[in-house]
Amino acid sequence: MALLPIAILSILGLSWWMGWGVLRVLVAIFIVWVVVLALMLAAPAAEIRAGLGFDPQLWLAGGMLLGLAIGYFAIVGRLRAEAERRWGTEDAPRFMPVAAPDAPSATPAPSAEARAKTEDQALDRYARHIVLREIGGPGQAKLRDARVLLIGAGGLGAPAALYLAGAGVGRITLADPDTVSVSNLQRQIIYRTADAGRAKGMAAAEALRALNPLIDVHALRKRVTAEDIDLIAQHDLVLDGSDQFADRAAINAACARAGVPLIAGSIAQWEGQLTTYDPARGAPCMACIFPQAPAPGLAPACAEAGVVGPLPGVIGAMMALEAVKQITGAGEGLAGQMLIFDGLYGETRRITLQRDPDCPVCSGLAQRAPEA
Ligand SMILES: [Zn+2]
């Protein structure tokens, strides 16, 4: 029986060398188990089995344990593959591959009939946009082709995400490191009580897909930092609804570097504000206006200061409205303007923001020509 440990050790060594997964190692051990069992049963006399120290009952029990382990790892592997198929991995977000116009597509193109059906559905779904003079068919096509990154699927990000999904923004990425807590539900009405404890991005993505199956939604469970320039550059527009100054400053710096416009909203107690930072097209960035973090205690987050439930809905919906205008070119956006809403007295005012020529973030960055 000394052969058995040697066989198992050599399988483990081989698997380490070949980079096998647990499941494959277990299956290899199982094959050895079957071969040994067959040899022992084929042995002519019981004396030989006894002489070799072979106990059939022990051997069968070991085989059953091995079978259970294989079943367990097979199920785990299948669940993981399914999750990656649906959500993608952090390194490889699940985006549809964008083929060059003349390159052969990896997946077969949908039939003309299926395309016509989708177009009919879209015409029906977006009819109220299409009759708007400022949006119309061309504006709706721009929304369909737009890629928007929403940072934070909380009070501001969630209502903005719902409206952008409803409006037919073709690709939405939701990035949020947190899970849903019961204290979120007072204002983050995208979630249900049963979602408590789930990753916010995943739960919110589910709601968006249920609202509009014609769009592509992807969830990332991560905090976006100043290093995420590549992630931001994969999008046409970023909406920031995070509530910590350090996070907002990092996102501003990454957007400025990537040359992607940033619609930023913030709320506290009864008041909210929003603006569009776009230094690549001449507008100020966040560091032009707020070069330094406020003194501790001066700008407390919602958790300490409190926030009235419908306020994030108001400001989040305004962020989505600015996003629709930014994408379709309708009206005039909030670049260089800050809109301030006082919910306690029902007042709105607008202030003009100036770019700081010595801004530590955006001075010296290349300007982009305004899009025609
Ligand atoms: Zn700046």
The CA 370 to ligand 1 mean position distance, Å, reads 18
pLDDT at 13: 73
Instruction: Give 4's pLDDT tier (boundaries 50, 70, 90).
Output: low
Backbone torsions φ then ψ of 334, nearest 5 degrees: -105, 25
* pLDDT tens, residue by residue, 213-261: 999 999 999 999 999 999 999 999 999 999 899 999 999 999 999 999 9
What is the CA(252)–ligand 1 centre distance, in A? Answer: 9
Looking at the DSSP bridge assignments, the partners of residue 276 are 263, 335
Domain-by-domain residue ranges, the chain? 3-87, 122-352
* Residue 277, both tokens: 């930072």
Contact of 140 with 130, CB cutoff 8 Å: yes
CB-based contact 169:148 (threshold 8 Å):
yes
Tell how far CA 106 is from the center of its chain.
24
Rg (C-alpha) for the chain, rounded Å, is 29
φ, ψ of residue 236 to 5 degrees: the values are -90, -20
pLDDT at residue number 278: 98
Q: What percent of the chain has pLDDT over 70?
A: 84
CATH architecture, range 122-352: 3-Layer(aba) Sandwich (3.40)
Residue 369 has what pLDDT?
A: 60
Q: How far is the CA of 255 from the centre of ligand 1 (A)?
A: 11
CA of 178 to the centre of ligand 1 (A): 29
Q: What residues are neighbours of ligand 1 (ion), with CB under 5 Å?
A: 285, 287-288, 359, 361-362
> Among residues 211, 241, 247, 263, which one has the least CA distance to residue 312?
241
To which H or E segment does residue 349 belong?
A: strand 347-352
For the segment 150-174, the average pLDDT, to the nearest whole number, is 97
Q: What CA–CA distances, in Å, run from 282 to 246, 279, 326, 348, 372?
A: 24, 5, 15, 25, 15
Tokens 């934070």 correspond to: 152
CB 263 within 8 A of CB 276: yes
Question: Is residue 66 pLDDT above 70, yes or no?
Answer: yes
What is the complex's ipTM, to 2 decimals?
0.99
Q: How confident is the model at residue 212 (pLDDT cuts 50, 70, 90)?
A: very high
Quote the mean pLDDT of the chain. Answer: 86
In this prediction, residue 50 has a pLDDT band, given cuts at 50, 70 and 90, of low
CA of 291 to the centre of ligand 1 (A): 8
Q: Is-contact 40 55, C-beta < 8 A?
A: no
Ligand 1 centroid, distance to 304 Cα (angstroms): 29
At 144, is the secondary structure helix, strand, or coil?
Answer: helix
Q: How far is the CA of 184 from the centre of ligand 1 (A)?
A: 33
CB atoms within 10 A of CB 184: 20
Per-residue model confidence (pLDDT) at position 85: 52
Label residue 94 by pLDDT band (50, 70, 90).
Answer: very low
- Expressed in angstroms and rounded, the spacing between residue 278 Cα and the centre of ligand 1 is 9
pLDDT digits (tens, 9 = 90+) for 26-35: 887 788 778 8
In the reported structure, the alpha carbon of residue 158 is separated from the centroid of ligand 1 by a whole-number distance in angstroms of 27
Q: What is the model's pLDDT at position 170?
A: 97
Q: Tell me how far the alpha carbon of residue 296 lies from the centroid of ligand 1, in angstroms.
A: 23
Ligand 1: centre distance to CA 245 (Å): 15
